[in-house]
Every structure is written in C-alpha cells, then in structure tokens.
Structure 1
Amino acid sequence: MDYSTLVLWISLVCSCIHVFNLLARKQSCKGKLPPGPVPLPIVGNLFKLGDKPNESLAELAKTYGPLMTLQLGRVTTVVVCSAKMAKEVLQKNDQAFAGRTVLDAVRALRHNEASMVFLNPNPYWKKLRMLSNTQIFTSQRLDSNEGLRRQKVQQLVSHIGNNCTTGRAVDIGRAAFACTLNLLSNTTFSVDLVDPNSESAHEFKDVVWKLMEVVGKPNLSDYFPLLRPIDLQGIRRRSTALLKKIHEYFDGLIQERLLYRASSNSPRMNDFLDTLLDHKENDDDKFDIKALLTDLFVAGSETSSNTIEFAMAELLHSPQTMAKARSELLQTIILDQQVEESDIARLPYLLAVVKETLRLHPPVPLMIPHRAESNVDICGFTIPKNTQVLVNAWGIGRDADIWPNPNAFIPERFLGSQVDFRGQDFELIPFGSGRRICPGLPLAYRMVHLMLASLLHSFSWKLPDEMSPEDMDMRYKFGLTLQRAVPLCAIPIQD
C-alpha cells in the first residue's frame, strides 16, 4: 500500500470514528457528564495532553474542576484530580471502577490476558492477587525474609563504600535498582539476578525504563481502537521486543529449576518460584508464570529504586533537610551499627522524608487507568459504563487546597501528621487504594525506608564536580512511571 492510499484510508477511518463517537456519546450519556474542554472533531481533546499529561491535566482541573471529562479520540475519559473525588472513585465506588482500560502496548505477547496489573477483576485476577498476598507479601513471609533484606542492603552499603577511597560518584538509581532487583530475585529464585558491579543491572534497568516509557506514551491505537492492527507509532512492536528481553532473564532460571525439581534427590527450594510451579502443575488453567514475574520485577524494582533516587535528589538539593535526616539517624543508631527494620519506627523525620518524596514524585503519576464497569453517579454527574477513569495522583499530591507551598520539598509537613500512603488517606495515594491498590506496598515500605536510612546513616554525600545544589537538574521524564531526566550521581564520604 503506497503512502497516499494509506493517508486516504486513515482519513476515511477517522471520519467513521467521528460519526460513531457522536452516536456513542448520545446513547451513553443519558446523565450529565462532568465538565471539560470542548473537544475538536475526530481528535477530541488529545492535544490537551502534552508530553507530560499529569501536569496538563492538573492545570486543566483548575478550570474545569476536580472531576472533568475529556474526549481522547474515541475514548471518553474522566479525570480525577482531588482527594475528595479520589475517595468517591476508589473507596465509595471501588467495585464499579475496578475494571481496567487495556493499553495497546500491553497487548504485546498477550501480556494483558495474564497480567495481574491489567486484567479485569475476574476469577483469574483474584487468583493472582491471592497468590501474591498469601505467598510473598504477607507479614509472616516478609518477616521471615528480613535477614535477606538486611544482607542485600549491607551489600549495597559495601558496594558504595568501595567508592569512598577513590572519591568516585555513585549512580544512586542504578545502585538502588540492583539492590532491589537482587532482593526480588532471591525471594523468587533464591539467586542474584544481576551483579551490582557489572553492566547487567544497568542493562535490565534500561530495558525496564524503556518499557515504562513506551507503555506510558500517548498512543493513537488506544484512542482510536480501529487503528490497532496498523500500530502506526510502532509502540506495540517496541513493547513486544522489550517484553521478550525481560522474559529471557526468566527463561533460563525457570528451565534450570524444572530440571532441578525433576531430580528425585533434590530438596525443595521453597521460594516463590517453587510455589508458582506447584500451582501450574496442580491447576487446569494456563497459568502464565512469566507474566506474573514480569509484573513483580518491573513494578517492584522500578518504583522502589526511583523513589530512593528522588528522595536522595531532594535531600541533596536541600542540604539543611539532609542534615536533619542524618542527625536523626546518627542520634538514634550508633554509627558503626547497621540500620535494622525495627529502627524505622523510631525515625519520624525519615518517615516524613519518604512521604514527602512520594507526595511530589508518586511512582505512577496517573495510576493505571481504571474503567467503569457500570453507570455510576458521582456528585450529580453520571459516569457511563466503559468510561476510562484516570486518577492524577501527581496532581492530588500538589493540590494547593490541601498542601501549603505544594511544589516545595518540606518533610516537616508530615511531622505529627497521621496522613499515610497505605490507601486510606486520599490526599496521598501513590500506591492507589481499594481492591486495585498495589499488592507490593508492604515490601516497598520496608525496602525503601531501609535502603534510604542505610545510605544516609553510612555516608555523608556531596555533589560531583563542585556542583552546587542550585545547579542540580530536577526535571523528570514521563512514562507509566516517573524517572529523573538526569540520573543522580553523588560522592559518598565515609564518616
């Protein structure tokens, strides 16, 4: 097909889409939709999104309110931009909004059909949640793995300590990523997945970020479903290649374990992989182990390491805040002692630093798209069935009606405050809420606090090349998750 024919075909399809769009809205919107900007023909409000939709939508909410409607091509979308509206959607009408809008990028390798993140709340999804909640994220299992986390964090500290004698800068995000990745791989496979001193951790991190960037990129196939077979932007092709690379990391380990289990004299490893293989052998369903592992490793490693990197960046950008956090640690824990998880509750300023980091830099700024499973009435408006619902966690965290001086990093705002990020306080929902809350939150809580506390307790830090805090580049890149535009590098100093 030549270019002119392709353009003509696309024009005809878009014209049909526009007609269908108008008819669909007339049929579905018997009630009153929330207000929003007037859509253009065919494309609707797509041009309103920009390259950082979280910021664009937060700005639009100032005009149209905390619950607003956008027509994104063929997809009617309601955007939630306040704590009050988030509570209506994620708590009061939790079941009605538990569905997922499936992004075309995650249709690669049919990942959406086996992913705990993107499945609709069907029996298979419930089974995956049950497995995660009972086999890996329970308090009992997490408590039993405390020694493993201590060991991995100590390896992180030792790795960074090697740089003190040479004065070399450490890539904070890369080091935190390797630590988190190996913790997950030891919990799952009983082995390290990467060597922190090699390029393997960097390569895996690069693949994971590229996948997050591709999945979070505005995609015409999502807004005009009839264009999916064409994959005009090549997004599904790229996500397919990236998912294949991630699966390659797991293939060898799974095959090795299958051979190990086949040996009659081999004792059980009793890790998460053994549990998954047992389930696959005893279940009639086509249980996709690699899809579940992809969800676990991609979400767990990327979000935790990014939070550590953002926290360290904010502390280096604010030396007085860094000094307060280190002072609390050194007054609470003797310098030569290792930070323990039991110490975290005695570190209120550190807890405040993490909350403030998650307020300003939520791991998933727009959260994973929800979908209305039925018509729902909220505050005098009707959200029609199948409407896409975006919760702007980034915008809620910077709502000036809730947070004084919302764009400033001020951990003190959480001292003496009962606001937490476990899904019950809707002004701070970096991990979501309700039945779609991130199942890995309990592990993330322990790992992020322990890693950050250990980095601050073991070393003082300075910026490289005589850089001043004012010279730091604090910009970020937008994807399904957030990442710093410029990786944070800092020089550790042994006290």
Structure 2
Amino acid sequence: MPLLPMEYPLPLSFLILIPFFLFIFKQFIQKSRNLPPGPRPWPVLGNILLIGKKPHISLAQFAKIHGSLISVRLGSQLVVVASSPDTAAEILKTQDRLLSARSVPKVATYDLSVIDQHSIVWSSDLSNHWKILRAFCRTHLFSPKAIESQAALREKKVSEMIDFLRSNKGETVKISEILFGTILNMLGNLFFSKDLCQLDYEGNTSGIKHVIRKFVELGAMPNISEFYPIFDALDIQGLRKQTEIYQNQLIDIWNEIVKEKRQAISLGSSTKNLDFLDVMIHSGFSDLQINILLMELIAAGSDTTTSTIEWAMAELLRNKDSMHKLQAELRSKMGENDIITESNISELPYLAACVKETLRIHPPTPFLIPRRAPETCKIMDYTIPKNSRLFVNVWAIGRDSNTWEDPLSFRPERFLDSNLDFRGQDFEFIPFGAGRRICPGLPFARQEVHLILASLIHYFEWSLPNDEDPMQLDMEEKFGVTLQKEKSLLVVPV
C-alpha cells in the first residue's frame, strides 16, 4: 500500500531534498559514534570550503586547534587525519594490518578487480596478488643485490647530465626539467634498455615528460566524484576521460618495445643483460600487468625524486653555510675532477643530513597515499567508521615544534648526531611512509637522490639569474600528489 494516495504525489522539490536530509541524518548518526574532533561541517558541503588549495597547511592548522587526530568531512566522505608521531604510529604500526586498505581514485580507468590483482599502489587490500607483486619488485628492482647491480647505469646517466650542464654553462636552466629527464632515462634504461627522452633545460609541452605530468596532475585534481560517489558514473568533470587519454599515450610509448621483446623471446633469441621488461615477460606477465606496473613505477619514481632534489637545491642556495659545508665535504673526500660514484655516498654524512633535512621540510607526498578503514574500528578511543579515509600529514609532523627545535629552519646538522632514519621506524620522520605500505622504491630513490645532488654540488657553482638574492627565492609550495615548488627553480651553472 503506498504511503500517500496517488492523487497526492510527492512534489519534485521534496524529492530533490531527500539526499540533503539523508546527509544530515548520516552526520547526526556519526556524531553519536564519538568521531575524532574537527571543524564543524556545513550541510552537504562539509568542510570543503575550509580546506583550500593547500590542504596540508589547513589541516595542520586544524590539528593545532582540535588535536593531533581530527576528522573532516569532504562532501559525503569522512576523512581522519593524523598530524603527530603518536597518531601516525597508531595508523601505520599499531593497526597497520587493519588499516592498510586503499580507496582507488575515481579517475581510475580499470575495473576494481583488475586494480586489486595488478596494482602495487592501489590494490585495495593486502591480497596474495599484491604480496607476490611486491616481492617480485623487491627481488628484481629494490633488493640490495639489485640496487648494487644498477649502480653503473645510474652513474652513467648522471655523467650525461653533468656533460649536458657543462655544455650549457652560464645559461639559465630550469633545473627540474634536467632532473626529470635524467631520472626518466635512468628508469628507461632500467626497464627497457633505452632512453625515454632528450635532456633539455626549458621544458616543452610534448613528449613523455608532458604526458607523465598531466597523468599525475589529473590524479591530484579535486574530483566531485570523490566527494559525492553518487556522481561517479557521470564523470562530471571529465577527469576519467582525460586520464584515459594520457594513460593510453603513456602505454603507446612502450607498446612497440613489448611487442619486439615478445617476438624475440618467441623466436628463441636471448641476451645476457636482461632488463626489467625482459624479466616480466619471462615471468609470464600479461600486457595488462606490464602496463599497470610500469605506469605506477615510472609516474611515482620520476615525479617525487625530481621535486626532492629541486627543493634541496633551493634550500642550499638560500643557506650558504650549508652549501659551503657540503662543498667542503665533497672536496675533502674526492678530487675536483674525480667522478662521484655510489660507493662514495656512505663517506658523505653531511650530504645525507642535507637530504634528510630536505625530506623533513618538503616531504615528497605530504599526506603519503591515503589509507582506508575496511571496517569500523577504534583509534585512541575514537570511532573510525567503515570506509573512512585516513591521511597521515607528514608535512605537519616534519614541522611540529613539539618534536623539532626551530622546525622551519633548514639545519642539516640536526641529523649529524642522530640515529633518525626514513625507513619507517621513527614516526617523527616518515617521508616514505611506514608499515606494509611503505614506499617500495625507497632504496632506489635513496641512491639516485644522493648521487644526483652530490654531483650537482661538486661539479658546479650555482647562482640565480641576474644575480638575484637567494634569500628572495620564492619557496611557495604547489600541492599535488607530490609537493612541488610553485615556481620552478631557475639557476645558472658555472
């Protein structure tokens, strides 16, 4: 029997308001569940208008008001944010097993079942597929033996970068373009035995660098479908469609290489020096598995490393004492014309301290990659509802005055007599994350960041264009998947 006689139908305006009333009811119910404190949300919008373009900063400010574990509402999505070492440890260590699930971005172009089976980053839980894939990458890319075997390749690409800069000495260069190209060629030779791009110092709007940047940028754009999943199928902003375009362009770059290698293997030809693609094909990977894994490794491995080294260069230019100390250390350990190798890195403690200090102030991913609560649970006596997203604000943790003395100053010396490391055991310093979801590429990133930064500082003196004062350098941040400089660093190598 209908609730109302058919001659009295519900007005359209009332039907439109039903989602609004459901949203208010849901908020009321969740308030009674003892959620972590946070700013009062607006109906329907939640706290979206309070977050702004730099959420790592606004959420850090909320934490100072409401506590180190807070909750905010982005549309219909509840987000819990940890902003202290203790709350980070609760998520990444104490409840690591339960809270290791992911929320797959709404721009994803593959079905969830495909992602769960083939993604090392976005697999929604720690399935056997994920464990096997991670173990495969650790063995062939990130184990101590694999890292050591790749050293000559990284050194060769850095040497080519130095030669390129020498041929352009005295010119104003956008250092991020040179870094990005160098790192892409490291990965290209590791994966395919070939360079992926030509080095240039101005940047262009074509080629693989442009495609990767657009691919990553789309993944970080505010998406209505994330805030209101009811609109997911509509793709209102067209972000999924755009992502698919750049994804396919990226796959096209190596498709021919994959075909050639498969054909060569089928004909029985062999080579002594197998690259990572050879290993994947010999291990029975399908084209779909290869495409997903390579997209994740190349996008993550190039963008984060580029931004870290660019930030390090900017900080060293602004802090002359630190720059001089690093130059002196390099001179004391090797001659002016000596080639820097990865075997030298362990002899350079001040270099390591400069890298750590850069990662503290400018973590590559300010929130790490968000986790998800697959079921309702408790954190520090607060209720975390099922499917809540969990952010760890490592940007806020690295600048916390309760943990760090003079936290906004670039002082590498703070790490010289410290055992703090970024391998996930010290929760006041976790730029690569911790627990089961710690960045698998950490060993590779560590080697390339130290090698590239040491080479740039050892072989060149650096200045700003038109003899600008380094203390006037713009250090504003641009929020995204990676934390980049708002204005690219322009420098002159001498």
- Alignment pair present for 1:160 and 2:165: yes
Taking the aligned partners of 1:470 and 1:423, their CA distance within structure 2 comes to 33
Which whole-Å CA distance do the structure 2 matches of 1:12 and 1:128 have between them? 50
| Equivalences, count | 479
| Aligned match for 1:192, one of 183, 192, 195 | 195
76-85 vs 312-321, greater mean Cα deviation: 312-321
Query: Given residue 243 of structure 1, which amino acid in structure 2 is its aligned partner?
Result: Q
Question: Aligned match of 1:128 in 98, 109, 133?
Answer: 133
2:8 aligned residue: none
Alignment correspondent of 1:142:
147
- Aligned equivalents of 1:68 and 1:356: distance in 2? 27
Q: Retained in 2: the 8 A contact 1:474–1:484?
A: yes
> What does residue 76 of structure 1 align with?
78
CA 1:13–1:325: 2 relative to 1, 3 Å: farther
Does structure 2 conserve the Cα–Cα contact (< 8 Å) formed by 1:103 and 1:215?
yes
Q: Distance in 1 between matches of 2:83 and 2:144?
A: 33
Greater shift, 235-244 or 359-368, is seen at 235-244
| Equivalence for 2:107 | 105
- What displacement does 1:127 show? 2.1
Q: Following the alignment from structure 2 to structure 1, what is the Cα–Cα distance between the partners of residues 328 and 163?
A: 22
Q: 1:265: Cα distance to partner?
A: 3.7
Give the distance between the partners of 1:130 and 1:385, measured in 2 at CA: 29
1:24-56 per-position Cα deviation (integer Å, ceiling 9, x unaligned): 456667742111111111111111210011111
1:41 to 37, 40, 43: 43
AA in 2 matched with 1:221: S
Give the 5 Å matches for 1:271-290: 271-280=275-284, 288-290=289-291
1:202: how far off? 7.2
Tell whether the 8 Å contact from 2:75 to 2:227 is kept in structure 1 after alignment. yes
* Residue of structure 1 in register with 2:3 after alignment: none
Identify if the C-alpha distance between structure 1 residues 335 and 375 changes in structure 2 by more than 3 Å, giving closer, same or farther.
same
Q: Tell me the distance in 2 between the aligned counterparts of 1:415 and 1:255.
A: 50
Contact 1:358 1:430 in 2 (8 A): yes
1:302 corresponds to 2:303: yes
Higher alpha-carbon deviation: 385-394 or 435-444: 385-394
Contact 2:177–2:200 (8 Å) recurs in 1: no
CA distance in structure 1 between the aligned counterparts of 2:327 and 2:337, rounded to whole angstroms: 14
Deviations 1:368-419 (CA, angstroms, capped at 9, x unpaired): 1100123322222121221111111111111121122222222122121111
What is the letter of the counterpart of residue 352 of structure 2? L
State the alpha-carbon separation in 2 of the partners of residues 24 and 102 from structure 1. Answer: 23
The superposition leaves residues 124-143 of structure 1 with CA deviations (integer Å, 9 ceiling, x where unpaired) of 22222111111111111111
Partner of 2:395, secondary structure, is: helix
Q: Judging changes above 3 Å, is the alpha-carbon distance between structure 1 residues 27 and 276 closer, same or farther for their aligned structure 2 residues?
A: farther
User: How far apart are residue 221 of structure 1 and its match?
Assistant: 0.4
1:452 maps to which residue? 453
The 1-side partners of 2:267 and 2:304 are apart by 38
Equivalent residue for 2:62, pick from 60, 63, 73: 60
Q: 2 CA distance for matches of 1:286 and 1:169?
A: 42
User: Is 1:357 paired with 2:358?
Assistant: yes
Residues 29 and 482 from structure 1, CA distance in 2 versus in 1: closer, same or farther, beyond 3 angstroms? Answer: same
Q: Is the 8 A contact 2:377 2:386 kept in 1?
A: yes
CA contact (8 A) 1:368 1:390 kept: yes
Q: Which residue of 2 aligns with 1:87?
A: 89
Does 2:408 match 1:403?
A: no
Query: Structure 2 regions of 5+ residues with no counterpart?
Result: 1-11
User: What CA distance in whole angstroms lies between the structure 2 residues aligned with 1:214 and 1:12?
Assistant: 36
Q: CA deviation at 1:18?
A: 3.6
Contact 2:23/2:43, CA 8 A, preserved across alignment: no
Q: CA deviation at 1:17?
A: 3.8
* Aligned AA (1:464): P
Instruction: Measure the CA separation in 1 of the matches of 2:211 and 2:479.
Output: 16
Confirm whether residue 316 of structure 1 aligns to residue 317 of structure 2.
Answer: yes
Q: Secondary structure at the match of 1:104?
A: coil
Counterpart contact for 2:102–2:122, Cα < 8 Å:
yes
Structure 2: which amino acid aligns with 1:398?
R
Match in the other structure for 1:390: 391
Q: Distance in 1 between matches of 2:205 and 2:163?
A: 17
Q: TM-score, normalised by structure 1?
A: 0.91
* SS class of match (1:37): coil
C-alpha separation in 1, matches of 2:336 and 2:48: 54
Cα offset, 1:154, TM superposition:
1.1
TM-aligned CA distance change 1:12 to 1:319, over 3 Å: farther
SS of 1:324's equivalent in the other structure is: helix
- Give the RMSD, CA atoms, in angstroms: 2.3
1:492 CA drift (Å)? 1.3
Q: Deviations over 1:79-106 (max 9, x none)?
A: 1111110011001110111001122123
1:409-488, aligned counterparts within 5 Å?
A: 409-488=410-489
Residue 115 of structure 1 pairs with residue 122 of structure 2: no
Measure how far apart 1:23 and its partner are: 4.6
Please list every run of 5 or more consecutive structure 1 residues that lacks an aligned counterpart in the other structure: 1-9
One-letter code aligned to 2:255: D
Residue 245 of structure 1: which of 235, 244, 249 is its match?
Answer: 249
Residue aligning to 1:492: 493
Q: Is this contact kept in 2: 1:195–1:201, CA < 8 A?
A: no
Q: Match of 2:72, SS?
A: strand
How far apart are residue 346 of structure 1 and its match? 1.7
Residues 475/393 of structure 1: CA separation in 2 closer, same or farther (3 Å cut): same
Is the Cα–Cα contact under 8 Å of residues 78 and 390 in structure 1 kept in the other structure?
A: yes
* Mapped partners of 1:251, 1:16: distance in 2: 49
Matched, 1:216 2:220: yes
Change (3 A) 1:410 1:208: same
Residue 267 of structure 1 corresponds to 271
Q: 1:204 aligns with which of 208, 215, 223?
A: 208
The SS at the match of 2:401 is coil
Whether the 8 Å CA contact 1:172–1:309 is kept in 2: the answer is yes
Q: Against the structure 1 CA distance between its residues 14 and 373, is the aligned structure 2 distance closer, same or farther, given a 3 Å change threshold?
A: farther
Residue identity (%): 39
Q: Deviations over 1:404-461 (max 9, x none)?
A: 2222222122121111111111111111110000100000000000110011111111
Equivalent-residue separation in structure 1 for 2:311 and 2:205 (angstroms): 19
Q: 1:359: how far off?
A: 0.9
Contact 2:181 2:200 in 1 (8 A): no
1:203 Cα deviation after fit: 3.6
Distance 1:353 1:228, change over 3 A: same
